[in-house]
Amino acid sequence: MNATVIWRACKFVGLGVALALGFLSSQGQLELKEVEVCPQGPPKCFSASIQVAVNAVAPGGLVSVAPGEYKENVTIQKSLILRGEVYEGWRYGEGAILNAQDPEQPTLAIKSSQVTIEHLVVRGGMPIPIREGVIEVERGSQAVYIRQSRIESEGAAIVATRSRQLRIEENIILTPPRESSPGTRAGAGEAISVANSKEILILRNTILADATAITIMGGDQIEVVGNYIGAYSLSALHSGIIIVPWPPPLILFPPLWPLWEEAEGMGSAQVADNILIGPGYNGIAIVGRKLEMTNNHLLGFWMVGIEALSEEALTIQGNTVAVAGVSEIREAQEDYYGRGVGILAYGIEGSVLHLEGNVVKGNARFGILVGTQRSGRAHLSGNAVIRSERGGIALLQEPCVTEVAGSFIRIYLPYTFNLRFEGELSGEGNFILGAGKDELCPADFPWPAGFKK
């Protein structure tokens, strides 16, 4: 028999066996259900490149990465699991380490749905003004799960745009400061930045950041629960958690403000059981419709500890806020609310505010500051305000507040330049101790029973 004929016969038999076993796609491309990556490459493992393994694995398959450093930028364009083999090493910056070959590009770009990243160390990023993330979840991706990994960035760490079902859980995320030139310092980017996305879960992460830890702009069904957030160094965090619509109406020309109603607004958001440690400017700032902030603990944010603007319903319950007044704030002459306020709650027309069981202490200005538009209602019960230098519980009225500045609320209410308390107030069991000037402000307001001095 001719050797060529024998070779062709063997080739077709091999293709048939491969198809039968599921190793080849219908187009004849090699596809494996599980692929191993190691620094040594073949024959010890399939490849020394994570990207080669990602390209070869079948959709829904597993890419297992052995300990070692892999210098490359990886793009994922199919559903898969990318997993480091060493379970605990990632916590200490060891195990499977993916480091960017080109720091101006994402170290790991996710352009597909149903992708899981776990047990990896991912490094890279560029400082401000370049804002690409070390891990980027590109628009349209769904069901992306980033868990139990360590992400280290000189810019933004995780960036997602127009995604759905994004879950970021039990990671260590570090964005340290970067020296830009002698005598100056350039901050890093956000640790987590999500825009115009839905069903976002950010759970039990440890985040040490130099700028803002978590920024969510536009979206719905947001949960930020059980995270530890702190300043990477003695340099101050800009903010801990920001959840706001996009774009802010004040960045538009005034004739375009009505169009903001059709922009990407905020729906429901829950922020619970988080620990935020400064120094920093703002702790938690949220603007949206149905908002819940419960059992959070904040220390050392000297602008505003918890700040919320609600279009419908707002619950602030069981939080502890200690916003230490620093010298530069004590020396300030203006009595506007953007300096040293523990909790600032504002409701637009028809909204209902509920503040219960919060403990606020050591603030440079007010412990709790409340404002509503007409037909809004605010109910305060069981709150304790201790040692606030300017006042205990205050309403957004003169003479308590003479200027509106230094707050996210000011940005998101373009039509309302003179914010005031114009709604209904009720309460019971509130306690104030050691207020410097006015325990209740304004003193001549008809405060209902339940606000104890």
Q: Is residue 246 part of a domain?
A: no
Q: Is residue 2 part of a domain?
A: no
Q: What is the mean predicted confidence (pLDDT) over 361-372?
A: 82
pLDDT at 4 over 70: no
Tell me which residue has tokens 């309302």.
Answer: 416
> How sure is the predictor about 8, in pLDDT bands with cuts at 50, 70 and 90?
very low
Percent of the chain with pLDDT over 70: 75
Tell me what pLDDT residue 380 has: 95
316 and 430 inside one domain = yes
Question: Which of 127, 144, 175 delimits the end of a domain?
Answer: 175
Q: Is residue 155 part of a domain?
A: yes
Residue 65 or residue 259, greater confidence:
65
Q: Is residue 230 part of a domain?
A: no
> How sure is the predictor about 246, in pLDDT bands with cuts at 50, 70 and 90?
low
**Contact partners, residue 306, CB within 8 Å, separation at least 6:** 283, 284, 293, 296, 298, 316, 319, 321, 342, 343, 344
pLDDT at 129 over 70: no
> How sure is the predictor about 316, in pLDDT bands with cuts at 50, 70 and 90?
very high
Q: Is residue 398 part of a domain?
A: yes
Residue 206 or residue 329, greater confidence:
206
Residue 212 or residue 116, greater confidence:
116
Question: Which of 124, 143, 175 delimits the end of a domain?
Answer: 175
pLDDT, tens digit, for every residue of 178-205?
A: 654 333 333 456 899 998 888 999 999 9
275 and 393 inside one domain = yes
> How sure is the predictor about 42, in pLDDT bands with cuts at 50, 70 and 90?
very high
Q: What is the CATH number of the domain that holds 152?
A: 2.160.20.10
Tell me what pLDDT residue 339 has: 57
Number of domains forming the structure of the chain: 2
Percent of the chain with pLDDT over 90: 41
pLDDT, tens digit, for every residue of 215-227?
A: 888 778 899 999 9
Torsion of CA 406, 410, 411, 413, to 10 degrees: 170
**pTM for this predicted structure:** 0.85
For the chain, the average pLDDT equals 80
Q: What is the mean predicted confidence (pLDDT) over 227-247?
A: 78
Q: Regarding beta strands 74-76 and 108-110, do their DSSP bridges make them parallel or antiparallel, or are they unpaired?
A: parallel
Nearest to 393 by CA among 359, 370, 364, 423: 370
Q: Is residue 184 part of a domain?
A: no
306 and 434 inside one domain = yes
pLDDT at 379 over 70: yes
Nearest to 369 by CA among 326, 339, 348, 331: 339
> How sure is the predictor about 427, in pLDDT bands with cuts at 50, 70 and 90?
very high
Eight-class DSSP state of 52: H
Q: Regarding beta strands 184-186 and 178-181, do their DSSP bridges make them parallel or antiparallel, or are they unpaired?
A: antiparallel
pLDDT at 142 over 60: yes
Question: Which of 122, 154, 175 delimits the end of a domain?
Answer: 175
Nearest to 370 by CA among 448, 424, 313, 406: 424
Residue 278 or residue 329, greater confidence:
278
Residue 176 or residue 296, greater confidence:
296
pLDDT at 69 over 90: yes
Name which of 147-156, 185-194, 301-310, 345-354 the model is least confident about.
185-194
Tell me what pLDDT residue 28 has: 44
Structure tokens, 50: 């994570």
> How sure is the predictor about 389, in pLDDT bands with cuts at 50, 70 and 90?
confident
Q: Is residue 52 part of a domain?
A: yes
342 and 451 inside one domain = yes
Give the C-alpha separation, 56 to 347, whole Å.
Answer: 54
Tell me what pLDDT residue 233 has: 67
Nearest to 266 by CA among 240, 293, 246, 252: 246
276 and 380 inside one domain = yes
pLDDT at 337 over 60: no
Phi, psi angle pair for 73, to nearest 5°: -105, 130
Tell me what pLDDT residue 419 has: 61
Name which of 50-59, 171-180, 369-378 the model is least confident about.
171-180
Q: Which domain holds residue 80?
A: 31-175
297 and 166 inside one domain = no
